[in-house]
Amino acid sequence: MDNRRLLILYGSQTGCAQEVAERIWRESKWLHYSGPVVAMDDYPIDKLIFEKKIIFVCSTTGQGDQPENMKTAWKFLLRKNLPSNSLTNVEFAVLGMGDSSYVKFNHVAKKLYRRLLQLGGKPLCNIGLADDQHDIGAFAVIDPWIDNLWTALLEKHPLPKEMVLIDRNALPPPRWRVQILNDDDSSSTNNKLPNADLLKTNSTTLNCLSNIRTTALNHFQDVRLIKFEYTENSLKYSPGDVLMVRPVNSENAVNSFFELMKENLKTELNRNSMMTVVQQSPDMPVPYNLSKPFTLYQCAKNHWDLNIIPNRYTFQLLSYFTNSELEKEKLQELTTAEGQEELYNYCNRPRRTILEVLSDFPHALANIPLDYLFEVFSPIRPRAFSIASAPSVHLNEIHILVAVVRYKTKLVAKRFGLCSNWLAGLVSGDKIPAWIHKGTFKFPYSRSCNVIMIGPGTGVAPFRSYVYESTTKGSGDAETLHLYFGARNRFGDFHCVNDWEKLVDDGKLTLYTAFSRDQDHKVYVQHVLNNRGQQLYKLLTSQECFVFVAGNAKDMPAAVRTEFSNVFMKYGNLDSVESEKTIEQMELKGRYQTETWS
């Protein structure tokens, strides 16, 4: 194999790991490396032993599970008959994309790193464990980890004498070349971006049936129960699974984009300009949804995320294009290690979008080459929503519970979540592409099980799916199904209240509620758990018991875990260490499962 070959493999649920892998590929050109960027399951994994240098970028899903596009490769790597010297000639590096609100934080990356060592692989650098919970997000780890990777490669594999090291501060090449088509070239196109989402396994087009607000009109937050219809047999899902959707930008955002780009577009481009993306390197093919000609409007509407908060790499790119010394100095400052606090205060704390950043650096904006628009703007990533319907009850339907994200920062313009506001705008008859991913929760269906569910806010969605399915199958009722729901007000945000009350009246569910603002002192789900400690201990120890926790990752999951630990200490006479070990054993057996989000 060529000594300057660098294989980059990724495993990703929503595309974040792929984006980072592609960035590593671009930056590797500084050291004259070449090689493909491939999803792990798309690479012939039995050929791994013939590689010399491999970079792995992988995310963790569910209860420490591998993403769908690396499961086959992972199964192969775990084979017991693989010799312990299989990867003796391989140098590797592993970067994990994770969220520390999950107990099994970056579990896949850690296991992969250990397995590669067991097979004789030699690490180029320490494992990187990126954390979405960090103040400036995953890039607080990603950026320095990539820098360390290049340093390690340069130390271990200096450039041959005939090669000159490319300046690290030089502009990296774009992934693709972008061409503007004239009318003759574009006359045969259908003026649409191909829909890659409908090529995915288990994907289909959903028809919106209804979009109902579940919170009172005077409540501070707008939450929707959105019901979709699908044709028979076009989708299959189980309670605990998630619905994946990819939103599009609002017309207001698209109009803001074109208003902002006026100076850039006045000579050659407009909304209807037809363009095509051309592959430059065999290592970086053009993705399917950019494989046919499309208009700039289509790209701004459907492909680029105009709402995203830029990361450090974006500012680095912009610094190459500005002809203003003042802008260049500021942009370069924001890319340094010393400038990360300022970057956080400028960008992350106020949630400043890419369009707002570009408006603050007009000289850089005016000089961005067309090819680099696809580097400055990130693609819209798919979003995951817990399914709130039951396949045996809501026939040929999928329901999701969506909290519409709207809030204020110190900036004048109100912040809007891209996907939630897009979903909130759907009306009956609207159609969207979607697909199913296996969810994080693995629910039991047995009369011998007690099931305790803690789902404040929209965290209750997967439990609506499970309770309906379980009671319909006859495997659960009020004696075994115990739901703890929390919200602000009984008459403000008691999501799906009619469902719960009917299930309780029918003897199919036991419900406990915590409405934090309905009394002088605040009451949360953990307080209700505390008040029912003795009853909880009886449930936890009388027969096989499962605990499921879903909701916001900030404080609730840790507070709930503490209460369960206290139950074992108070009523089981365990000390704190023994209590924690008991919960850890439950986790290992799948009897304490958590699904949280930021």
For position 246, which CATH number holds? 2.40.30.10
pLDDT tens sequence for the chain (598 residues): 467 899 999 998 777 899 999 999 988 988 889 999 999 999 999 999 999 999 999 998 767 788 888 999 999 999 999 999 999 999 999 999 988 877 788 999 999 999 999 999 999 999 999 998 887 788 889 999 999 999 999 999 988 888 887 777 788 889 999 999 876 555 544 567 889 888 887 899 999 999 999 999 999 999 999 999 999 888 999 999 999 999 999 999 999 999 998 876 655 778 898 999 999 989 999 999 999 999 999 999 999 999 999 988 999 999 999 999 999 999 999 998 888 889 999 998 899 999 999 999 999 999 999 999 999 999 999 999 999 999 999 999 999 999 999 988 888 888 899 999 999 999 999 999 999 988 889 999 998 899 999 999 999 999 999 999 999 999 999 999 999 999 999 999 999 999 999 999 999 999 999 999 999 999 999 999 999 999 999 999 988 999 999 998 778 999 999 999 999 999 999 999 999 999 999 998 999 999 887 6
Tokens 């590096």 identify what position? 93
DSSP state of 132: T
Residue 433 placed within a domain: yes
- DSSP H or E segment with residue 410: none
Examine the domain organization and report whether 455 and 432 are in the same domain.
Answer: no
Q: What secondary structure does DSSP assign to 518-581, as a single string?
A: SSSS---HHHHHHHTHHHHHHHHHHS-EEEEEEEESSSHHHHHHHHHHHHHHHHH---HHHHHH
For position 477, which CATH number holds? 3.40.50.80
Final residue in a domain of this structure, among 130, 156, 182? 156
DSSP state of 290: G
Examine the domain organization and report whether 494 and 574 are in the same domain.
Answer: yes
Residue 397 placed within a domain: yes
Residue 499 placed within a domain: yes
Final residue in a domain of this structure, among 390, 406, 439? 439
Examine the domain organization and report whether 268 and 130 are in the same domain.
Answer: no
Provide the β-strand partners of residue 549. Answer: 454, 594
Residue 276 placed within a domain: yes
Examine the domain organization and report whether 493 and 414 are in the same domain.
Answer: no
Examine the domain organization and report whether 386 and 408 are in the same domain.
Answer: yes
pLDDT at 527: 96
pLDDT at 133: 82
> What Rg value do the Cα atoms of the chain yield, rounded?
26
Tokens 């003796």 identify what position? 88
Examine the domain organization and report whether 102 and 52 are in the same domain.
Answer: yes
3-state secondary structure 291-355: CCCEEHHHHHHHCECCCCCCCHHHHHHHHHHCCCHHHHHHHHHHHCHHHHHHHHHHHHCCCCCHH
Residue 435 placed within a domain: yes
Helix, strand, or coil (residue 245): strand
Examine the domain organization and report whether 272 and 408 are in the same domain.
Answer: yes
Examine the domain organization and report whether 473 and 429 are in the same domain.
Answer: no
**Residue at 497: amino acid letter:** V
pLDDT at 188: 47
**pTM for this model (two decimals):** 0.91
pLDDT at 1: 45
Rounded Cα distance between 502 and 309, Å, is: 43
pLDDT at 267: 59
Q: Are 426 and 208 in contact (CB under 8 A)?
A: yes
Rounded Cα distance between 558 and 486, Å, is: 15
Residue 577 placed within a domain: yes
DSSP state of 367: T
Structural domains in the chain (count): 3
Give the structural domain span for 536. Answer: 450-597
What b/e sequence results for 311-333 when a residue is b if at least 16 CB atoms lie within 10 Å of its CB, and e otherwise?
bbbbbbbbbbbbeeeebbebbbe
Q: Are 104 and 593 in contact (CB under 8 A)?
A: no
Provide the β-strand partners of residue 484. Answer: 454, 512
Examine the domain organization and report whether 435 and 459 are in the same domain.
Answer: no
Examine the domain organization and report whether 465 and 563 are in the same domain.
Answer: yes
Tokens 């970079």 identify what position? 55
For position 143, which CATH number holds? 3.40.50.360
Residue 335 placed within a domain: no
Rounded Cα distance between 562 and 529, Å, is: 10
pLDDT at 110: 96
CA diameter of the chain: 81
Examine the domain organization and report whether 435 and 467 are in the same domain.
Answer: no
Residue closest to 419 by CA, chosen among 527, 531, 514, 306? 306
What the block records as the tokens of 6 is 């660098």
Examine the domain organization and report whether 65 and 209 are in the same domain.
Answer: no
Residue 330 placed within a domain: no
Q: Are 153 and 31 in contact (CB under 8 A)?
A: yes
Final residue in a domain of this structure, among 439, 471, 488? 439
